[in-house]
Chains A and B, each alone.
Chain A
Amino acid sequence: MPKEKFDILESTCIPLPIENIDTDQIIPARFLSLTSREGFGEYLFRDWRFDKSGNKIEDCVFNNPRYSGRILVTGKNFGSGSSREHAVWAIAGYGFRAVVSSFFADIFRNNCLNNGILPVVVKEDYLQNLLKTIRDNPSTMARIDLDKQLFTVLPDGEGISFEINPYKKECLLNGLDDIDYLLSIQDAIKAYELRKTLGK
Chain B
Amino acid sequence: MKPETLFDKIWDSHVVRSIEGGPDVLYIDQHFIHEVTSPQAFDGLRARGIDVFRPSMTLATADHNIPTVNQNMPIRDELSRRQVETLTRNCNEFGITCYGLNDPHNGIVHVIGPELGYTLPGMTIVCGDSHTSTHGAFGTVAFGIGTSEVEMVLATQCILQPKPKKMRIRVEGELGRGITAKDLILYIISQLSTSGATGYFVEYAGSAVESLSMEGRMTVCNMSIEMGARGGLIAPDDTTFEYLRKIPALSNRPDFYALVKKWSRLRSDPDAVFDRELTFDAGKIKPMITYGTNPGMGISIDESIPALEEISDETKASFIKSLNYMGFTPGMKLAGQPVDYVFLGSCTNGRIEDLRAFAGFVRGRKKAPGVTVLIVPGSKKVEKQAIDEGLADILKDAGFVLRQPGCSSCLAMNEDKIPPGKYAVSTSNRNFEGRQGPGARTLLASPLTAAAAAVTGRITDPGELMQD
Contact = CB atoms under 8 A, between A and B. Distances in A.
B430 A17 contact: no
- Chain B's interface size range is 35 or more
A186 interface: yes
Interface stretch (B41-49, B103-111, B358-366, B377-385): B41-49
Nearest to A165: B22
B194 A179 contact: no
A98 interface: no
B420 interface: yes
A183 interface: yes
B246 interface: no
B434 A24 contact: yes
Interface in B141-163: 144-149, 151-152, 155-162
A98 B434 CA distance: 26
B193 to A, nearest CB: 8
B157 A30 contact: no
B130 interface: yes
Contacts of B159: 182
Interface stretch (B80-88, B206-214, B453-461): B80-88
Contacts of A186: 53, 156
Contacts of B439: 52
B149 A110 contact: yes
Contacts, number: 189
A77 B226 CA distance: 12
Interface string A31-64: 0111111000000000100001000000000000
Interface residues of A, number: 56
A39 B439 CA distance: 24
A159 to B, nearest CB: 22
Nearest to A33: B79
A24 B39 contact: no
B215 to A, nearest CB: 23
Interface stretch (B269-277, B313-321, B342-350): B313-321
A170 to B, nearest CB: 8
A32 B130 contact: no
Interface stretch (B13-21, B302-310, B328-336): B13-21
A1 B413 CA distance: 32
A81 B145 CA distance: 12
Contacts of A76: 195, 314
B52 interface: no
Contact of A165 (B145, B162, B194, B321): B162
B98 to A, nearest CB: 16
Contacts of A52: 420, 438-439
B433 interface: yes
B440 to A, nearest CB: 11
B178 interface: no
B226 to A, nearest CB: 8
A167 B21 CA distance: 6
Contact of A179 (B37, B44, B83, B198): B44
Given A165-B162, A179-B151, A192-B16, A29 B195 contact: no
A24 to B, nearest CB: 4
Interface stretch (A99-107, A133-141, A142-150): A99-107
A124 B314 CA distance: 9
A138 to B, nearest CB: 19
Given A17-B317, A20-B318, A165-B21, A33 B413 contact: yes
Contacts of B146: 83-85, 88, 107, 110-111, 114
A23 to B, nearest CB: 9
B65 interface: yes
Given A81-B130, A186-B156, A32 B413 contact: yes
Contacts of A80: 194-195, 198, 228, 294
B129 interface: yes
A166 interface: yes
A15 interface: no
Nearest to B148: A114
A115 B439 CA distance: 30
Interface in B397-439: 411-413, 420, 430, 432-435, 438-439
A188 B130 CA distance: 29
A185 B199 contact: no
Contacts of A167: 19-23, 160
A82 B226 CA distance: 9
Given A18-B317, A20-B294, A185-B17, A81 B148 contact: no
B117 interface: no
A83 B130 contact: yes
B147 A85 contact: yes
B125 to A, nearest CB: 14
Given A29-B412, A30-B413, A47 B156 contact: no
Contact of A33 (B20, B53, B65, B149): B65
Given A36-B39, A189-B16, 4 more contacts: A19-B315, A28-B434, A37-B40, A85-B128
Interface of B: 16-17, 19-23, 25, 27, 36-37, 39-40, 43-44, 47-48, 50, 53, 64-65, 77, 79-80, 82-83, 86, 128-130, 144-149, 151-152, 155-162, 164, 194-195, 198-199, 225-226, 228, 230, 294, 296, 314-315, 317-318, 321, 411-413, 420, 430, 432-435, 438-439
29 contacts: A1-B48, A18-B321, A19-B314, A19-B318, A20-B195, A22-B432, A25-B432, A25-B434, A30-B412, A33-B65, A34-B79, A35-B39, A35-B82, A35-B83, A37-B40, A77-B194, A81-B432, A82-B411, A84-B36, A105-B198, A106-B199, A106-B228, A110-B161, A182-B25, A183-B50, A183-B156, A188-B17, A189-B53, A192-B16
